[in-house]
Structure 1
Amino acid sequence: MPKLYTKTGDKGDTSLLGGKRVRKSCIEMGAIGEIDELNSSLGVLIAELREEKMAKNAVSKLIAIQRKLFTIGAQVASVQTTLTKVPRLSRRDVSVLEKWVDTMDTKLPRLTAFILPGGTEEAALAFHARAICRRAERNLVKLSDHYDLPIVLIQYLNRLSDALFALGRWINKKEGMKELKWKK
């Protein structure tokens, strides 16, 4: 693209992969927008983690996750096409997230109650990204009600929300921040 703007979306339409024009309000674009917001929230979290020079391993994992979110976006953008050269998520990608969750979880106290999202700024950002992830997952489920969407996409976001929850807890523990339990 020679210019950042094309003016082709000025009337509320955009193109999916393969060139099909759709309204920006369609369910595909809703799902893509949520994934984009999630990816941006991870970018903010990464910036904070880098600034504090903590969790190098978490930063590299989050960057890898950002790349996977682009893959999910590409799969969603091609759900109405027969394109074959679209990058795909695999069950292995879900397993990588599960391993990370398990690794963090072994270093955390067992949960006995719901905890309030928050703590350090970095942990709060992880918990916020988790909430965005859950919203993106709900939009993928809605999309799967209309299209044959690979289940691995929903599984990935489901595991990612678990990973972001565990990351928030791990950051708080590392920084000596006590978890606040929900009280009725």
Structure 2
Amino acid sequence: MVVLNKIYTRTGDQGDTALSNGERVPKHALRVEAYGTVDELNATLGLARLHALDEMATRIATIQNDLFDLGADLSRPGMDQDAEAPYPVLRIIQTQVDRLEAEIDAMNAALAPLRSFILPGGSALAAHLHLSRTVARRAERGAVALAAAEGANPAALRYLNRLSDWLFVAGRVANENGAQDILWVPGASR
């Protein structure tokens, strides 16, 4: 359980921070960058959720909770040491990835196939979901860099990859199931 009695601690004033295993690292470390970008992604989804209704709002809320799980996962190095932790270690699991895939398939079933790339925009919800999609891609790049340098949970990488796809399809759903998508017209402004 998390208890936050005091918000500032001054422990990071010299440019380092603590990972969830207690290890202190520079704030510019790959691991901190990875989970920090996931936090940014969560904030952009909070904005998207302001424009969402019903099932879409519920799905976004579930993803926001998943992103805290993902941040916890990325903030703890050494998956091989999880069994030695004094508390249960929170990791992204395949069922979370599977849920995203099932939701993508369900949303995509109602959409006409794309004949062009689409521009971010349309409804306010779609625009926010597309912004979140680009932040999800950046978070994925950071997590992949972390995995290459120090290791990371493979399910976390799959989750981020699937999430950007989910956000793309959800953006189309938010544009009246694609009817309000803004299509890219190559060379239109030449």
- TM-score, length of structure 2 as denominator length: 0.88
Are the counterparts in 1 of residues 140 and 160 from structure 2 also a CA contact under 8 Å? yes
- The answer on whether the counterparts of 2:116 and 2:183 sit within 8 Å (CA) in structure 1 is no
More displaced stretch, 168-177 vs 118-127: 168-177
Distance 1:178 1:151, change over 3 A: closer
Q: Give the one of 85, 90, 95 matched to 1:87.
A: 90
Q: Deviations over 1:63-101 (max 9, x none)?
A: 111111111111111114724421121111111000111
What is the alpha-carbon distance in structure 1 between the residues aligned to residue 118 and residue 108 of structure 2? 15
Residue 65 in structure 1 maps to residue 68 in structure 2: no
Counterpart AA for 1:58: M
Structure 2 unaligned residues grouped into runs of 5+: none
Structure 1 runs (4+) deviating above 3 angstroms are none
- The separation in 2 between residues aligned to 1:126 and 1:173, in whole angstroms, is 14
User: Could you tell me whether the CA contact under 8 Å between 1:14 and 1:22 is conserved in 2?
Assistant: yes
Structure 1-normalised TM-score?
Answer: 0.91
**Pair 2,97 (structure 1): closer, same or farther in 2 beyond 3 Å:** same
Instruction: Specify every segment of 5 or more residues in structure 1 that has no aligned partner in the other structure, as ranges.
Output: none
Change (3 A) 1:99 1:173: same
Could you list the per-position Cα deviations for residues 107-154 of structure 1 after superposition, in whole angstroms to 9, with x for gaps in the alignment? 111012211111111110000000000000000000001122121111
Deviation at 1:176, TM superposition (A): 5.2
**Are the structure 2 counterparts of residues 142 and 178 from structure 1 closer, same or farther at C-alpha, using a change threshold of 3 Å?**
closer
* 1:1-184 to 2 correspondences below 5 Å: 1-49=4-52, 54=53, 56-80=54-78, 82-84=81-83, 85-174=88-177, 177-184=180-187
Total equivalences in the alignment: 179
